[in-house]
C-alpha cells in the first residue's frame, strides 16, 4: 500500500502504521498506568524487619488510616483516589479511546 501510494517514511508512519497500532498501544498505556498506580500506592507504606518504612502520599495515608482505625481519614483518602482515577479516565482515556 505504501509503495503503491509512494508514501514517504513519515507518511507511512502517520497514515498507516500509527493508526493501525494505536488501539493496542492505548490498551498498553492504560494497563501500564493502572499497574504503576497500584505499585506506587503499595510502595508508600510497608513493614520490613519490624520497621515501618513510609513516605508521604495517598497510599501511606490509606495504610496508616487503616492501621490506626481512622475511618474518616480512610474514607477521605479513598474518595480522593476514586475521584482522581475516574477523572483521569474521563478526561484522558475516554477521548483517546474514542479516537482509537
Would you state the pLDDT for residue 83? 96
Average confidence (pLDDT) over 8-24: 90
Tens digits of residue pLDDT in 36-71: 988 988 889 888 898 988 889 999 999 999 999 999
Residue 79 — pLDDT band, cuts 50, 70, 90? very high
Beta carbons within 10 angstroms of residue 37's beta carbon: 16
* Contact criterion met (CB below 8 Å) for 80 and 58: yes
Q: Which residue has the cell 501510494?
A: 5
Would you state the pLDDT for residue 16? 87
Question: What is the average pLDDT score of the chain?
Answer: 91
Q: Which residue has the cell 500506592?
A: 41
Distance between CA atoms of residues 66 and 7, nearest Å: 59
Amino acid at each position: 500500500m505504501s509503495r503503491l501510494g509512494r508514501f514517504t517514511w513519515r507518511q507511512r508512519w502517520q497514515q498507516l502504521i500509527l493508526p493501525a497500532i494505536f488501539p493496542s498501544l492505548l490498551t498498553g498505556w492504560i494497563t501500564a498506568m493502572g499497574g504503576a498506580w497500584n505499585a506506587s500506592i503499595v510502595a508508600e507504606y510497608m513493614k520490613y524487619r519490624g520497621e515501618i518504612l513510609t513516605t508521604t502520599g495517598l497510599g501511606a495515608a490509606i495504610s496508616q488510616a487503616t492501621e490506626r482505625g481512622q475511618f474518616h481519614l480512610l474514607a477521605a483518602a479513598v474518595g480522593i483516589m476514586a475521584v482522581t482515577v475516574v477523572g483521569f479516565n474521563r478526561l484522558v482515556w475516554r477521548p483517546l479511546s474514542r479516537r482509537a
